[in-house]
Each structure stands twice: as C-alpha cells, then as structure tokens.
Structure 1
Amino acid sequence: MYHFTESVTVHILELHGALVPVRQDGLPIFDDSRSFNLEISSANITMTTDSLANVLNQYVFVASEAPLKDLTVTTEGNKLKVKGKLHSKGDISFETVGTLSATPEGQIRIHAQKVKAAHLPVKGLMDLLGLNIADLINTKKVRGVRSEENDLILDPQQILPPPHIEGRVTAIRIEGNQIVQVFGNKPKAELPLAFGGNYMAYRGAQLRFGKLTMSDTDMILIDMDPKDPFDFYLDHYRDQLVAGHTKITPEFGLRVFMRDFNKLRKEQRQIKKAAPRPPS
C-alpha cells in the first residue's frame, strides 16, 4: 500500500521502474516528493473507488471554478458509476455509468453509457439534440482531464499528487471496488532477491534520505510484517524508519526493516493515550 496523501492510496502489486530527478542536475530526495518522478516501465497497481474520488475532489477538481464538484465513485459490475454536481451548470446533480479502457496514448478512458441530470435520464435526449459530455463539461482548465465527445480522459501522469508517475496504462479493469491498472509490458526476468515478502528495492545512481546520500545505491525497504501489505507513506518514512531497524551488508548496502505506517499510527495513539497527565 503506497500513500500519496492521507486519503489517496494505491496498492502496488508489482512495479519496475526508476526514480528520475526533476532537475537535470538533481537527484531523488526522499524528503522532497517533488524532487523526482516515478518512471514506470511495468506495473500492476490497484486503486479503490474511494481513493479515485479523493483524487478527483482534492486534487483534480479542487479549484473554485472547476466544472465538477462533490464527486463519488462506485462500481456496478464491470461499470464505473460517477455521481456529483455540475458546478458550471448551477450545481445540478448528475450521474454517469460507463466503461473503462486504456487509450492508445496510455491514458484512461471513461466512456459514458448512461447519463442522468437532476435524477432524470438525459442520455437519449442528448443524443437527439446532438449533445455529448464534452458539451456539458468544460475541462480546458482542469489538469490531467479532458472531455472528448461522450468520454472523460484521465491522465495518470497528471492527476495524482507528487511524486508524479511517468508511464503508459496498457490495460484497465474493475474488480469489486478496485480499479486495476496495468502499466507497460511484462518486465525482463531479474535476479531474485535473497528473501521473500514485501519490499521496495532501489539500485544504482544516487539517492538521498535525511542526512545520507547513497552512491551506486543498494537499498531495500523491507516489510517487518509480510503477512499483510506493506503500508508505506513517503511523507512519514522517517517515522517508519525509526520504528524499525537497519542492517548493512558486506558490500555496504542497506537493508531497512520498516513498520507499516498504519500500525505506526495506532502505536502512537496508544502511547499518547497511556501517557500520564502533567501535574496541575
């Protein structure tokens, strides 16, 4: 589980890629999520419908003049249902049900098959009048989203908070309340690591975290509890690091055993609750 923010998370099943510095003369810095982009060569990543709604409300359509507001996202079988308000049309409530697919450019297409406005079906009337979604929703000033006839096109490289991703979605599907995104092609076989479980491995080039800068980086972040997903939050990596422990390999590589972020938060609450009150 990877946290972009408190309310925006994705589940990374598998990912191969590189941390690319934003500045030509820079390097990836864990303490600055804007210092690098994540260039994905291949990956399988899932996102819940709640996380997608949070991305749209808190990051994409956050501006006061944004055309859509108060969005909720759910699934109906293999269809995606989006509800909200047409802010640019006087906050009229709307609802769409449609399919998901990957575009040739590697973006995400939401094709509306049913449309309701003010709880009334309007898709047939729109077709009769020669209108489509693009006529109702002006996305020219919205980052990472564009309307195209009866489709909304989402660009994963722009809609997510930093660190931004660079990669092409090659397939997408719905499983329960999860949106499964496949990036790139199947990676070439790599040498297996000397352990199993959940981990994030960083190799080569430079990487900075805290006061340390690694050259020819050899660092693996390892889940201390592999029985459940590795819950990692870059903005709080130091808290997770302090709650764990590290080992140095004979080749001066780092093996960092980290506690899950969600478990760390529970422990902190317990400690605060158990702390005695100061004398009055």
Structure 2
Amino acid sequence: MNNHQQSLAQTSTQVSMNMKPPSAERGATLIVVLLFLVLIMLAGVIAVKQSNTDLKVATSDQINTVLLQSSDSANQKLEMMINGSSASDEYRDVTSASGVFGHFLLNPDNATNEFIYCFNPRTKKYLAANATVKVATGGYWSSLNSGICDYGTAGDYTSERQAVMTQMSVTITPTNPNTPVFEHVVIGKEILDRTSKRYQFDIRASSALPAYSEPKVNSEKCFDQTSIKANVATGKKSLDDCMLAAGTPSKMLYEQADVENLSSSTLCIPYGKGSMNSKCVLSTTP
C-alpha cells in the first residue's frame, strides 16, 4: 500500500515540473530583434527620402543652368549683331526698318510697341516678317503675329534636341520723368538728328522646358502672354505668372541696353607740331 502511494506522488511531481512556463529571456530577445528591424526600416526610409531630395535638387540646378544659358545666349546673339561691323548683314538686318532695333530707331511712332520673336540661332527670326509686334492699345502692328514660340513646332526650339525654347521681348524703356534734360543726346551730335539720339531698350529673354510640363493654363498658352507686367490685361497673366501656374520650368533674363551711334574724330594737326595726319590728306588719285 505504501509503495503505490509513493509512485503516485512521484508521478504528480513529474507532471508539475513539465508544466513550468517558458523562460522570460526568450520574450526579451524577440522584442530586441523587432526593435532592430524597425530601426533598420526607418533608416532605409530616411535614406530613400534623402536620395530623392538630392536628386530633385541636382535636377533643379541642372534645369536652372540650362535655362539661364539659353536666355543668356539669346541676349549675347542680339548684342553681337548690334555691336558687330556695320558692313555685316546681321547689323543691317537689326538696324533696318524691319529689324528688331530699327523698328524703333527709324519710326518714333513705334516707341510703345513690343517686338517679340522666338529665338533660333539657325534662322533670322529677329526680323518683323517673322516676329510679333504688339501695340500697347491692343492688337498687332501691321497685323504681324508670327513670332510667338510654338512648342509643337521643331523649328522654334533653340537646338535640334527640342528641349529649350526661348522667346525674346524688346521694348523701349518707358520715359522716366526724373531723367536729366538732353541725357538721351549723344555728345558731339546735332540734337535734331534722329541718328544722334541714344535709345534705351528693355530686353527680356524668357526660356522654358515645354517637355517637362505643357506651358498652358486652361485655354491660355503662356507664350502668348506679354512679358511686361504693366501691359497685362485684366483677368490675364504675364508670361512668367502663366509659366508658374502651369508648373513649367522657366527663367526670364532681363537687361537694359543703350543703343547709340558712335562717332570718332581724327586729330589732323596736333597743337605745337607741324606734321599732318595722313588721314586728313585728300587722295590725289581719281
């Protein structure tokens, strides 16, 4: 009888030992592993966001450089033409009655017009026949409206890659009431001679990347809008504001340029010297 009770007691002891709960150390290890996984995931997310930010900054910087170079190239081209040899074809073009500067220099009635053309170094789009000439009161001068950049036309881009488009706007700087008297007159010239007058021009070169985002807001094309804030009609946007609303990367480069005839003189007989400059002697050959 005693032996039977003893065996039962042993069996009961063995059962109670097998029902012992798992070690607490195993739960702590699992929590630590999960924390490490969360930290690794957070580090990965931060790295991805940082790389995306760096990529956007680099892309924005590249776009800004390309647009700036395109606008600057258009300005330099115009400057080279007007400062080049007076015998060159390009100089004659821009100073003729149909040229971008001659339109204003040779006709005072055009002083308030806006001469617009789409810059393309491969073509002569700085002539009135290929330009848009807006009148301050509305409409177009002589119905000329062929200079607005069309992002659907390959020939309106600055290069064969068809990436950047640059539109030029040339106007005479509005008269400043505080300007000193006769400041516009070139020294050594007759005041009544129109060729002796100095003109100041406002030149705006607006470059954009149409492929990035269509330069259009509702039914309004951005390149159709004026670049001059003071000329924006009620309910309309300027070219810059339209580009911003459309989300099209763009940059406007603005500069003022003075255009005047340069005169030079030759000293024939220097004071105190008897010799004469050879340039002052008339040729005897017929």
TM-score, normalised by the number of residues in structure 2: 0.23
Which fold has the larger relative contact order, with Cα–Cα distance below 8 Å and residues 6 or more apart in sequence? 1
| Higher helix fraction (1 or 2) | 2
Larger Rg: 2
Which structure's residues are more often strand, by fraction? 1
